[in-house]
Amino acid sequence: MSVSYVRVSWNRQKRIYDVVVAVAVVLVLTTFVVGGAWLDPRATAETLILRATGICAFALLHVVLAIGPLARLDRRFLPLLYNRRHLGVVTFLVALVHGVFSAVQFHAFGDVSVLASLWSSNTRFDSFAHFPFQQLGFAALVVLFLLAATSHDFWTKNLTPRVWKSLHMSAYLAYALIVAHVALGAFQAVPSTIAWLLLLGGAMTLGTLHALAARVEARDDRRALDAATDDVDVCELAELPQDRGRTFVVRGERIALFKHADGVSAVSNVCRHQHGPLGEGRIVGGCITCPWHGYQYRPHDGTSPPPFSDKVETYRVRIVDGRVRVDARPLPPGTPVTPARAERGA
Amino acid sequence: MIAPLRRTHRWIWIARVLALPGLVIAAWAVRPPADASPVAAMPDDARGQTLRFEPAVARGFLADDGSLTVTLEDEVPLAMAYWSATHSTGTKLPSDAIWLGAVDALAAARLRVPDPQAGGTIVLYSLGTHAVFARAASPVDRKRGG
């Protein structure tokens, strides 16, 4: 990572990912434009594009928000997480086309500016049934723009992962705004119960996925280990899988343990990049590899291999009579610790 | 380290799970009935003589002072009303057409014809389809014709 801006570093996986996304978006848009023209021959090209881009952007946002919990529930979804930000930027671009066509179609032919028309054409903020839904869509578009504009690693590093993560949680605000925009806007003229059920189902599916993922987290938290002393017994050595991580909550902090060729090492579970769960990662090329974006750290000192310089906290580990014991006090990021090997207890 | 973020994330989702289905159901409940006609009623104070549009896709009144009230029976993309002193046919807008204003099915448009006593035609034109979709001769012309 670097604090100076570097363009996106393309690799084969990113290219495949983006090509699949682009083809899927074009297919969805084409299907809705052609299907819409067939079902409603009187609709103008502008209206068809407006509807198709609106549906496509909304569907994409569902996918973006579902990837996180899906990857937590099933590792096979992890490849989707790898370039989730690309999907987010595509979502914004499709939503932008929807917004521009809406602005032109409904607000560009008057004698006031588009923005003035947008904010003055409906000011019934006191009415639920007639609430100005276009303003809700505009607010969502602004949020999506902020997220897309700060999606590069340049911003992750400069804003710090904590601030960046907090900012990007506003994706949920954008989602809520769009649900309200759809329910109080276009759907007011949609008599189909199926369409309403799809809208409700989308919101409830996302809610359920996140609740299930939260259950997995809560299960880990319930296994939290509290100890009077700093030396905490965490598990049997045999419980640790070879070259795969395992997470333990020790005194409220998540620690990732890895059994690798040189022994057992423990580091903070929080990746420096985007706070990904290192304990759900693997050892690849001798390094702990974050499951989210592939950021790597050496097990014995928690430092990224050159030319990178990111560091995570390390922990002292001992193996006594076949049990793994961790010193709960974190060492400063990048502190070398000799990997633990089996020893006889005193 | 990221426990506060995780707590915030959890509360956002709890709030979202509770609020959004409620919002969708409430919006569904307040939507207009499916069988309600989207066509606006002609206002009570609409004055003048009835206009006979061909085809009958619009209703309207034209008063002697030139005040014109028009509403469409159904949505037509970007519908506009024009006044033409000539009696054209076809789908092209007459070259002498004077723009009066936009018309739609959601609300009666209140427009003004420049010189109704001189006779002419109300022409309804769609900017969406680029075609004239209805015409109505002014009542003055109808009298002359009858």
Do A235 and A216 lie in one domain? The reply is no
Do A167 and A304 lie in one domain? The reply is no
Q: Please indicate, yes or no, if residue A6 is contained in any of the structural domains.
A: no
Nearest C-alpha of chain A: how many angstroms from B67?
22
CA B114, distance to chain mean position in Å, is 21
For residue A196, count other CB atoms closer than 10 A to its CB: 18
Q: Structural domain of residue A305, as residue ranges? A: 231-343
Nearest C-alpha of chain B: how many angstroms from A190?
8
Q: Which residues of A are less than 8 Å from B27 in CB distance?
A: 128, 180, 183-184, 187-188
Q: Please indicate, yes or no, if residue A239 is contained in any of the structural domains.
A: yes
Do A66 and A137 lie in one domain? The reply is yes
Q: Which pLDDT belongs to residue B47?
A: 73
Least confident of A110-114, A183-187, A241-245, B87-91: A110-114
CATH number, domain with residue A212: 1.20.120
Instruction: Write the single-letter amino acid at B142.
Output: R
Q: Please indicate, yes or no, if residue A7 is contained in any of the structural domains.
A: no
A327 backbone φψ class: left, alpha, beta (φ>0; ψ -120 to 50): beta
Q: Which pLDDT belongs to residue A346?
A: 41
Residue A5 pLDDT exceeds 80: no
Do A201 and A59 lie in one domain? The reply is yes
Provide the domain count of chain A.
2
Q: Please indicate, yes or no, if residue A2 is contained in any of the structural domains.
A: no
Q: Please indicate, yes or no, if residue A332 is contained in any of the structural domains.
A: yes
- What does DSSP say about strands A342-343 and A317-320: parallel, antiparallel, or unpaired? parallel
Q: Which pLDDT belongs to residue B142?
A: 62
Question: Which of A189, A207, A253 minimises the CB distance to B1?
Answer: A253
Chain A touched by B64 (CB under 8 Å) = no
Q: Which pLDDT belongs to residue A54?
A: 95
Segment B52-70 shows an average pLDDT of 88
Least confident of A64-68, A284-288, B46-50, B67-71: B46-50
Do A98 and A121 lie in one domain? The reply is yes
Chain A touched by B27 (CB under 8 Å) = yes
Helix axes A171-184, A45-73, angle to 10 degrees: 140
Q: Could you tell me which chain B residue has the CA closest to the CA of A198?
A: B24
Do A94 and A155 lie in one domain? The reply is yes
Mean model confidence pLDDT for chain B? 82
Q: Please indicate, yes or no, if residue A225 is contained in any of the structural domains.
A: no
pLDDT band at A11 (very low <50, low <70, confident <90, very high): confident
pLDDT band at B1 (very low <50, low <70, confident <90, very high): low
Q: Which pLDDT belongs to residue A6?
A: 52
Residue A7 pLDDT exceeds 80: no
Q: Answer yes or no: do B13 and A210 touch at CB < 8 A.
A: yes
- Please state the ipTM of this predicted complex: 0.74
CATH number, domain with residue A267: 2.102.10.10
Residue B97 CA to residue B103 CA, distance in Å, equals 16
Residue A84 pLDDT exceeds 90: no
Do A245 and A197 lie in one domain? The reply is no
Q: Answer yes or no: do A172 and B13 touch at CB < 8 A.
A: yes
Q: Could you tell me which chain B residue has the CA closest to the CA of A211?
A: B13
Name A61's Cβ contacts closer than 8 Å, sequence gap at least 6.
A91, A171, A174, A175, A178
Q: Answer yes or no: do B17 and A187 touch at CB < 8 A.
A: no
Residue A129 pLDDT exceeds 50: yes
Q: Please indicate, yes or no, if residue A254 is contained in any of the structural domains.
A: yes
Establish whether the linkage from the previous residue to A307 is cis, with ω within 30° of 0: yes
Q: Which residue has the higher pLDDT, B82 or A280?
A: B82
Nearest C-alpha of chain A: how many angstroms from B103?
14
Residue A190 pLDDT exceeds 80: no
Do A183 and A248 lie in one domain? The reply is no
pLDDT tens for each residue of A220-258:
676 666 667 788 888 899 989 999 888 888 877 889 999
Q: Which pLDDT belongs to residue A41?
A: 80
Q: Please indicate, yes or no, if residue A108 is contained in any of the structural domains.
A: yes
Do A85 and A168 lie in one domain? The reply is yes
Segment B142-146 shows an average pLDDT of 55
Do A172 and A264 lie in one domain? The reply is no
Q: Answer yes or no: do B26 and A196 touch at CB < 8 A.
A: no
Do A180 and A258 lie in one domain? The reply is no
Q: To the nearest whole percent, how much of chain A has pLDDT over 70? A: 92
Q: Answer yes or no: do B21 and A203 touch at CB < 8 A.
A: yes
